[in-house]
Structure 1
């Protein structure tokens, strides 16, 4: 009678179970740790890229805004009714009021005589008082000035307190006013609300970033935090951020003892004076990597559960594989004890197992060989498909550019402008938020072609396109309308005053520029603003064209609102 065998780790059944369970557990743990590590690295890289993108966007927006505010003050100081020298002239105050109406960030605008007395100012603030000791006035007597943030001194009691309870702070811009002989006749100065700076920066900071614990900071040239107010003059930048003011995302330990994903980008305002500001975005490292850590823990838990399942399966398999060998061992033991009647396993039982193992090994080798061949073929096909896809995408981008851009000037073409105009018209009809169209024509351009040749004329058109692109806002749209005509589409511009300001800015920049061949040229500009009763987008263009005709008829080099 065969003996009943108990389970033992030294038996074949126990060894198979132990090795199957141990190897499966080790494999799954290694895979879980490796996948978790890869996920952590990828999550850190992704979060770091998002942090750097926010810092870069905020720095670009703030730099462009500062540059535009300085250009506004420079244009005011060079306006004809300022440079005449009569700072009491009644036309000066309406100009200041119109400029403030266009941008709510201006808290104060005024003109000051060479001795520092405020002659005219919006809302009469500081009018008649002396600002001779203010740094912006002293610096602006000799050139354009852009000043760092400071708290209000003279204006603190005259302006309402911010609703958030923060101190009233400003940044200053000023420019000298000189007459036609170059003599200083005064200074035009402006105080811009600090909240405009913070709101500009916050536009790059969406709700998902706030939910993930990210913070955006503004620092000055000395590394002192200017914003947010709760951290101002309290948080010190880590030492590694002082060495490089343009640093991609890195893991940095701050003075609160926590590690942050941190990116720092210098604000390039290209103003007359570099303020030395930087944008710093930081996110707690543990919050950035929290999803990766959670996934790693889930993988480890699944690994333990899978190991238990593999152990149970291994025990069952070991039992079926070990039974014929146990029978053979029992038969050998009985023979050793002199039992000639020992029962051997049925004839062919071990051979069948052996053949099955051999067949399985052979089949596995064959399948693995086929799999390697298929994998090589798939890799080759994937590489070929990737190459063809990239080539097709590149060709599509090139075709898209050719279809939407003017080949000579590089700006958008008439066809793309028509599409954009229809989009603005449809949006205006839905939201009642208007837009404006500026139609510009180079004065006496035929004379340029006839005198200097068409190559020079082409160069002049290219320079015109460059100047127009450089003087408009980032949301505006420039296209070549045909020949020497260009068109500018101003979204979100419901009134003629705003459009006139943009048109005058462009007309003045072109009149002051130096062109190859003719030297100086001028443009005539016709403006039209969308009206609610316009039957179609063509009506807006027709009014702009009629206004352009009036500008030409009135002597050219002027702007007419249709």
Structure 2
């Protein structure tokens, strides 16, 4: 009888340990899933803050440049420079240079005649040259225009000659332009602004300065899914364009490798905008790192519970068997 009782106690102990382990493991899995969702939701909400802030800064800047272009288009001195170019050229340039002094982000500002000839410009750059083939002029003729980031072409060499201390990094602009119209609607010319892309770089630095260490990765992506800010050799992988298209306008999504908060730029000053998206992201493995400690703790708890239940069942099994035998 004793060996039988021993084997019975062992069997009951193993059964109790298995059942307890299964129950505690199921509870632990449920808790881990809840904790995973919480960590992702908390971090997604946190990343959405800088994403929205960056999108709003870009919107505000683009709107400001369009408003500035409209103010120039209404400026009597500049209108006179277009109407009587021979008499008002110097005065028109003074107005543009004064604006550039107030807003150094404006690398070049020009007023252009209807045939595409630059009538007056900051520092006299490109005056007398024809830019009718350039998108900034063609877009400005049609109405308020914003042009996406592009490298300097006609201005690159001229700017470097005037500013020999400029670094060797490529000069890049975004554009703003509006037509200058006479009271009857006749086009007198176009006001054109080239905005230094370092303006956007500075906005990104300001937004990231308020983030806890380590900084998340903040990218600006154009309408085609190309990274236009925040890329470079350190960029692990560009966001999936489909992810950005399908993401909420201001929200966050979880991918296989990245938790990405997104914010799309909206229309500015009556213009539909450039369709940029801001993506602020962290690797999912980094976000879920605290889950490792929780997983280890729950595993230890489940194992201890299973061992305890098994020992308890094994200890009481012989007594129950003896009682059952007496009853028979």
Same fold (TM over 0.5): yes
1:217 equivalent in structure 2? 219
Q: How far off its partner does 1:25 sit? A: 3.2
1:267 equivalent in structure 2? 265
CA distance in 2 between partners of 1:162 and 1:229 (Å): 22
For the 8 Å contact 1:66–1:269, the answer to whether it is kept is no
CA distance in 2 between partners of 1:235 and 1:78 (Å): 42
2:294 equivalent in structure 1? 295
Bigger relative contact order, structure 1 or 2 (CA pairs below 8 A, ≥6 apart): 2
2:69 equivalent in structure 1? 73
1:134 equivalent in structure 2? 134
Is 1:33 aligned to 2:29, yes or no? yes
For the 8 Å contact 1:62–1:269, the answer to whether it is kept is no
Q: How far off its partner does 1:236 sit? A: 7.1
CA distance in 1 between partners of 2:7 and 2:209 (Å): 60
1:109 equivalent in structure 2? 109
For the 8 Å contact 1:9–1:18, the answer to whether it is kept is no
For the 8 Å contact 2:55–2:278, the answer to whether it is kept is yes
* Greater C-alpha radius of gyration: 1
For the 8 Å contact 1:245–1:278, the answer to whether it is kept is no
2:188 equivalent in structure 1? 185
Q: How far off its partner does 1:187 sit? A: 2.4
2:283 equivalent in structure 1? 284
Q: How far off its partner does 1:172 sit? A: 1.0
Aligned CA distance change for structure 1 residues 329 and 191 (closer, same or farther; 3 Å): closer
What is the RMSD computed on CA atoms of the aligned residues? 3.7
What whole-Å deviation, never above 9, does each CA across 1:133-161 have from its counterpart, x for those lacking one?
Answer: 22212332342221121111011113358
Question: Any idea what SS the aligned residue of 1:230 has?
Answer: coil
CA distance in 2 between partners of 1:119 and 1:143 (Å): 19
The aligned runs of 1:228-247 (5 Å cut-off) are 228-230=230-232, 235=238, 237-242=240-245, 246=249
CA distance in 1 between partners of 2:24 and 2:104 (Å): 62
CA distance in 1 between partners of 2:117 and 2:21 (Å): 84
Aligned CA distance change for structure 1 residues 91 and 52 (closer, same or farther; 3 Å): same
Q: How far off its partner does 1:190 sit? A: 1.0
CA distance in 2 between partners of 1:329 and 1:121 (Å): 105
Aligned CA distance change for structure 1 residues 5 and 180 (closer, same or farther; 3 Å): closer
Q: How far off its partner does 1:16 sit? A: 6.3
CA distance in 2 between partners of 1:238 and 1:175 (Å): 31
Aligned CA distance change for structure 1 residues 244 and 41 (closer, same or farther; 3 Å): closer
CA distance in 1 between partners of 2:250 and 2:57 (Å): 18
For the 8 Å contact 2:266–2:272, the answer to whether it is kept is no
Q: How far off its partner does 1:70 sit? A: 0.6
The aligned runs of 1:286-365 (5 Å cut-off) are 286-309=285-308, 311=310, 314=312, 318=316, 322=319, 326=322
Question: Any idea what SS the aligned residue of 2:60 has?
Answer: helix
**Unaligned 5+ residue runs, structure 1?**
254-258, 337-562
CA distance in 1 between partners of 2:324 and 2:146 (Å): 97
CA distance in 2 between partners of 1:235 and 1:185 (Å): 44
**Unaligned 5+ residue runs, structure 2?**
none
1:146 equivalent in structure 2? 146
CA distance in 1 between partners of 2:84 and 2:4 (Å): 114
Q: How far off its partner does 1:317 sit? A: 6.5
Q: How far off its partner does 1:4 sit? A: 8.7
For the 8 Å contact 1:262–1:281, the answer to whether it is kept is yes
Question: Any idea what SS the aligned residue of 1:31 has?
Answer: helix
2:7 equivalent in structure 1? 9
CA distance in 1 between partners of 2:15 and 2:137 (Å): 85
Q: How far off its partner does 1:32 sit? A: 2.1
Q: How far off its partner does 1:15 sit? A: 6.2
TM-score norm. by structure 1 comes to 0.49
Report which stretch shifted further, 294-303 or 66-75. Answer: 294-303
Q: How far off its partner does 1:301 sit? A: 2.5
TM-score norm. by structure 2 comes to 0.78
Q: How far off its partner does 1:215 sit? A: 2.7
CA distance in 1 between partners of 2:141 and 2:173 (Å): 20
What whole-Å deviation, never above 9, does each CA across 1:471-525 have from its counterpart, x for those lacking one?
Answer: xxxxxxxxxxxxxxxxxxxxxxxxxxxxxxxxxxxxxxxxxxxxxxxxxxxxxxx
